[in-house]
Amino acid sequence: MTGQEVRKMTDEELTLEIRNLRSKLHSLRTQVVTEKVEDVSSFKNTRRDIARMLTERNARFKAAGKR
């Protein structure tokens, strides 16, 4: 997911997507313990997507607080 896609999302969509990605990351970590993970790069991509969304959400909160 790119930064432009994240900026187009609403606050509710951001919150929902962050929850979904955190759940995905949790399931990936569980797969490491229980079975073999096919795509190891999905850890990195998921973490980066979460960071992008959190950064945008925090920027929106700060902007709203200054108004």
Amino acid 65: pLDDT: 87
Q: Would you say 14 and 56 are in contact if contact means Cβ atoms under 8 Å apart?
A: yes
What is the C-alpha separation between 4 and 52, in angstroms, rounded? 10
Confidence of residue 67 (pLDDT cuts 50, 70, 90): low
Confidence of residue 66 (pLDDT cuts 50, 70, 90): low
DSSP one-letter string for 7-51: HHS-HHHHHHHHHHHHHHHHHHHHHHHHS--S-THHHHHHHHHHH
Amino acid 39: pLDDT: 87
| Angle (CA) 55 13 17, round 5° | 70
Cα of first residue to Cα of last residue in the chain, in angstroms, is 29
Digit-coded pLDDT (tens) for 18-52: 999 999 999 999 999 998 888 889 999 999 999 99
CATH class in words for 3-66: mainly alpha
